Chain A
Protein backbone atom coordinates (compact mmCIF):
# COMPACT_ATOMS: atom_id res chain seq x y z
CA UNK A 1 0.00 0.00 0.00
CA UNK A 2 1.37 3.42 -0.94
CA UNK A 3 2.09 5.79 1.90
CA UNK A 4 1.36 9.47 2.30
CA UNK A 5 2.98 11.44 -0.52
CA UNK A 6 4.20 15.01 -0.19
CA UNK A 7 5.84 17.43 -2.57
CA UNK A 8 8.11 19.18 -2.89
CA UNK A 9 10.56 17.64 -0.43
CA UNK A 10 12.56 20.85 -0.12
CA UNK A 11 11.78 24.49 -0.81
CA UNK A 12 13.83 27.65 -0.34
CA UNK A 13 12.15 31.03 -0.67
CA UNK A 14 12.73 34.60 0.41
CA UNK A 15 10.58 36.25 3.02
CA UNK A 16 7.35 37.79 1.78
CA UNK A 17 7.17 35.26 -1.05
CA UNK A 18 4.39 32.70 -1.24
CA UNK A 19 4.72 28.90 -1.23
CA UNK A 20 2.43 25.92 -1.52
CA UNK A 21 2.78 22.32 -0.39
CA UNK A 22 0.89 19.33 -1.68
CA UNK A 23 -0.21 16.15 0.10
CA UNK A 24 -1.80 12.97 -1.20
CA UNK A 25 -3.06 10.79 1.66
CA UNK A 26 -3.33 7.03 1.80
CA UNK A 27 -6.23 5.86 -0.32
CA UNK A 28 -9.44 5.67 1.67
CA UNK A 29 -8.23 7.78 4.58
CA UNK A 30 -10.92 10.35 5.32
CA UNK A 31 -8.93 12.32 7.89
CA UNK A 32 -5.97 14.48 6.87
CA UNK A 33 -3.67 16.54 9.07
CA UNK A 34 -1.03 19.21 8.49
CA UNK A 35 1.67 19.65 11.13
CA UNK A 36 4.48 22.18 11.46
CA UNK A 37 7.74 20.87 12.94
CA UNK A 38 10.24 23.58 13.82
CA UNK A 39 13.84 22.39 14.18
CA UNK A 40 14.39 20.82 17.59
CA UNK A 41 10.69 20.71 18.46
CA UNK A 42 7.89 18.23 18.15
CA UNK A 43 5.24 18.52 15.42
CA UNK A 44 2.39 20.96 16.07
CA UNK A 45 -1.00 20.44 14.47
CA UNK A 46 -2.00 23.24 12.11
CA UNK A 47 -5.23 21.90 10.65
CA UNK A 48 -7.29 18.72 10.55
CA UNK A 49 -9.73 17.80 7.77
CA UNK A 50 -12.45 15.20 7.80
CA UNK A 51 -13.18 14.52 4.13
CA UNK A 52 -13.25 18.07 2.71
CA UNK A 53 -14.44 19.77 5.91
CA UNK A 54 -12.26 21.44 8.55
CA UNK A 55 -12.41 19.78 11.99
CA UNK A 56 -9.80 21.86 13.80
CA UNK A 57 -7.80 24.86 12.58
CA UNK A 58 -7.37 26.58 15.94
CA UNK A 59 -3.55 26.70 15.61
CA UNK A 60 -3.42 27.79 11.98
CA UNK A 61 -2.14 31.39 11.57
CA UNK A 62 -5.00 32.39 9.33
CA UNK A 63 -3.56 35.76 8.41
CA UNK A 64 -0.94 34.02 6.26
CA UNK A 65 -1.67 30.30 6.16
CA UNK A 66 -4.48 28.63 4.25
CA UNK A 67 -5.32 25.04 3.45
CA UNK A 68 -7.87 23.27 1.36
CA UNK A 69 -8.89 19.74 0.59
CA UNK A 70 -11.06 19.85 -2.45
CA UNK A 71 -12.90 16.61 -3.25
CA UNK A 72 -11.80 15.16 0.08
CA UNK A 73 -8.58 13.61 -1.22
CA UNK A 74 -5.48 15.73 -1.98
CA UNK A 75 -4.71 18.79 0.09
CA UNK A 76 -2.63 21.92 -0.33
CA UNK A 77 -1.18 24.15 2.36
CA UNK A 78 -0.23 27.69 1.38
CA UNK A 79 1.78 30.39 3.09
CA UNK A 80 1.45 33.95 1.83
CA UNK A 81 3.50 35.94 2.63
CA UNK A 82 6.19 33.83 4.28
CA UNK A 83 8.13 34.99 7.32
CA UNK A 84 11.52 33.85 8.59
CA UNK A 85 9.87 32.02 11.49
CA UNK A 86 7.94 29.82 9.04
CA UNK A 87 11.13 27.86 8.35
CA UNK A 88 10.22 24.33 9.39
CA UNK A 89 9.29 20.89 8.14
CA UNK A 90 5.64 20.63 7.13
CA UNK A 91 4.26 17.16 7.73
CA UNK A 92 1.10 15.70 6.29
CA UNK A 93 -0.60 12.71 7.91
CA UNK A 94 -3.73 10.74 7.23
CA UNK A 95 -5.86 8.24 9.08
CA UNK A 96 -9.05 6.33 9.06
CA UNK A 97 -11.50 7.96 11.47
CA UNK A 98 -10.05 7.82 14.99
CA UNK A 99 -7.25 5.43 14.06
CA UNK A 100 -3.45 5.57 13.76
CA UNK A 101 -2.03 8.51 11.85
CA UNK A 102 0.41 7.73 9.04
CA UNK A 103 2.91 10.45 8.23
CA UNK A 104 4.48 11.52 4.97
CA UNK A 105 8.19 12.39 4.61
CA UNK A 106 7.55 16.11 5.00
CA UNK A 107 8.52 19.26 3.11
CA UNK A 108 11.46 21.18 4.48
CA UNK A 109 10.90 24.94 4.02
CA UNK A 110 13.70 27.46 4.40
CA UNK A 111 12.75 31.13 4.40
CA UNK A 112 15.69 33.49 3.80
Chain B
Protein backbone atom coordinates (compact mmCIF):
# COMPACT_ATOMS: atom_id res chain seq x y z
CA UNK B 1 0.00 0.00 0.00
CA UNK B 2 0.90 3.67 -0.08
CA UNK B 3 3.05 5.17 2.67
CA UNK B 4 4.90 8.38 3.47
CA UNK B 5 7.93 8.70 5.73
CA UNK B 6 9.24 12.04 6.93
CA UNK B 7 11.96 13.05 9.31
CA UNK B 8 11.05 13.15 12.95
CA UNK B 9 11.11 16.41 14.80
CA UNK B 10 11.22 18.70 16.41
CA UNK B 11 13.48 20.67 14.14
CA UNK B 12 14.77 23.75 15.91
CA UNK B 13 16.35 26.54 13.87
CA UNK B 14 17.35 30.13 14.35
CA UNK B 15 15.65 32.80 12.28
CA UNK B 16 17.10 33.10 8.73
CA UNK B 17 18.52 29.57 8.81
CA UNK B 18 18.10 27.14 5.91
CA UNK B 19 15.39 24.52 6.29
CA UNK B 20 15.18 20.99 4.90
CA UNK B 21 12.51 18.50 5.93
CA UNK B 22 12.97 15.12 4.28
CA UNK B 23 10.07 13.15 2.86
CA UNK B 24 10.10 9.85 0.99
CA UNK B 25 7.17 7.82 -0.25
CA UNK B 26 6.08 4.40 -1.43
CA UNK B 27 3.27 4.20 -3.94
CA UNK B 28 2.11 2.38 -7.00
CA UNK B 29 1.71 4.34 -10.17
CA UNK B 30 2.29 8.07 -10.31
CA UNK B 31 0.95 9.82 -7.23
CA UNK B 32 0.59 13.54 -6.64
CA UNK B 33 2.62 14.89 -3.73
CA UNK B 34 1.76 17.57 -1.20
CA UNK B 35 3.06 19.48 1.77
CA UNK B 36 0.50 20.65 4.32
CA UNK B 37 1.16 22.97 7.25
CA UNK B 38 -0.67 23.06 10.58
CA UNK B 39 -0.23 26.22 12.63
CA UNK B 40 -1.03 26.05 16.36
CA UNK B 41 -4.76 25.84 16.94
CA UNK B 42 -5.60 25.79 13.25
CA UNK B 43 -6.58 23.24 10.64
CA UNK B 44 -4.34 21.79 7.95
CA UNK B 45 -3.54 24.11 5.05
CA UNK B 46 -2.12 23.14 1.70
CA UNK B 47 1.35 24.65 1.37
CA UNK B 48 2.44 23.34 -2.04
CA UNK B 49 2.00 20.44 -4.41
CA UNK B 50 3.51 18.67 -7.41
CA UNK B 51 1.62 16.36 -9.70
CA UNK B 52 4.33 14.72 -11.82
CA UNK B 53 8.01 13.84 -11.79
CA UNK B 54 10.45 16.78 -11.80
CA UNK B 55 7.68 19.27 -10.99
CA UNK B 56 8.64 21.87 -8.40
CA UNK B 57 5.98 23.15 -6.05
CA UNK B 58 6.54 26.50 -4.37
CA UNK B 59 4.70 28.86 -2.05
CA UNK B 60 5.64 31.46 0.59
CA UNK B 61 9.35 30.84 -0.02
CA UNK B 62 9.02 27.08 0.45
CA UNK B 63 9.95 24.69 -2.36
CA UNK B 64 9.83 20.94 -2.99
CA UNK B 65 10.76 18.96 -6.10
CA UNK B 66 9.09 15.67 -7.08
CA UNK B 67 11.98 13.19 -7.50
CA UNK B 68 10.69 9.92 -8.90
CA UNK B 69 14.11 8.27 -9.05
CA UNK B 70 14.59 8.71 -5.30
CA UNK B 71 10.85 8.69 -4.42
CA UNK B 72 11.36 11.91 -2.48
CA UNK B 73 9.70 15.28 -2.02
CA UNK B 74 11.91 17.20 0.41
CA UNK B 75 10.69 20.57 1.69
CA UNK B 76 13.17 23.47 1.66
CA UNK B 77 13.22 27.14 2.55
CA UNK B 78 16.24 29.40 2.27
CA UNK B 79 15.54 31.64 5.26
CA UNK B 80 12.98 30.66 7.91
CA UNK B 81 11.05 33.10 10.06
CA UNK B 82 9.55 32.75 13.52
CA UNK B 83 6.12 32.72 11.86
CA UNK B 84 7.04 29.49 10.05
CA UNK B 85 6.89 27.60 13.35
CA UNK B 86 4.30 24.89 12.76
CA UNK B 87 3.89 21.18 12.04
CA UNK B 88 4.55 20.16 8.43
CA UNK B 89 3.00 17.09 6.83
CA UNK B 90 4.06 15.39 3.63
CA UNK B 91 1.26 13.56 1.81
CA UNK B 92 0.53 11.70 -1.38
CA UNK B 93 -2.59 11.16 -3.40
CA UNK B 94 -2.77 8.11 -5.59
CA UNK B 95 -3.96 8.48 -9.14
CA UNK B 96 -6.81 6.07 -8.36
CA UNK B 97 -8.78 8.52 -6.26
CA UNK B 98 -8.65 11.59 -4.05
CA UNK B 99 -7.58 9.84 -0.85
CA UNK B 100 -4.59 11.39 0.93
CA UNK B 101 -1.94 9.37 2.76
CA UNK B 102 0.01 11.46 5.28
CA UNK B 103 3.39 11.17 6.90
CA UNK B 104 3.75 11.51 10.65
CA UNK B 105 4.47 15.24 10.63
CA UNK B 106 7.55 17.26 11.54
CA UNK B 107 7.38 20.06 14.08
CA UNK B 108 9.45 23.11 13.18
CA UNK B 109 10.41 25.61 15.86
CA UNK B 110 12.11 28.83 14.77
CA UNK B 111 13.76 30.95 17.43
CA UNK B 112 14.41 34.69 17.04
Contact = CB atoms under 8 A, between A and B. Distances in A.
Given A4-B43, A103-B45, A45 B100 contact: yes
Interface residues of B, number: 19
Interface in B59-112: 89, 91, 97-105
Contact of A43 (B42, B46, B97, B102): B102
A104 to B, nearest CB: 5
Interface string B40-56: 01111110010000000
19 contacts: A4-B43, A31-B98, A42-B4, A42-B102, A42-B103, A42-B104, A43-B89, A45-B101, A48-B98, A56-B99, A91-B43, A91-B44, A95-B98, A97-B98, A98-B98, A99-B98, A101-B46, A104-B43, A105-B41
Nearest to B36: A103
Interface of A: 3-4, 31, 40-45, 48, 55-56, 91, 93, 95, 97-101, 103-106
Contact of A55 (B91, B97, B100, B105): B97
A106 B41 CA distance: 9
A106 B91 CA distance: 18
Contacts of B97: 55-56
A105 B42 contact: yes
A97 B97 CA distance: 10
B102 A44 contact: yes
B42 A100 contact: no
Nearest to A9: B41
Contacts of A95: 98
Given A56-B97, A56-B99, A104-B43, 9 more contacts: A3-B43, A42-B89, A42-B91, A42-B102, A45-B99, A45-B100, A48-B98, A101-B98, A106-B43
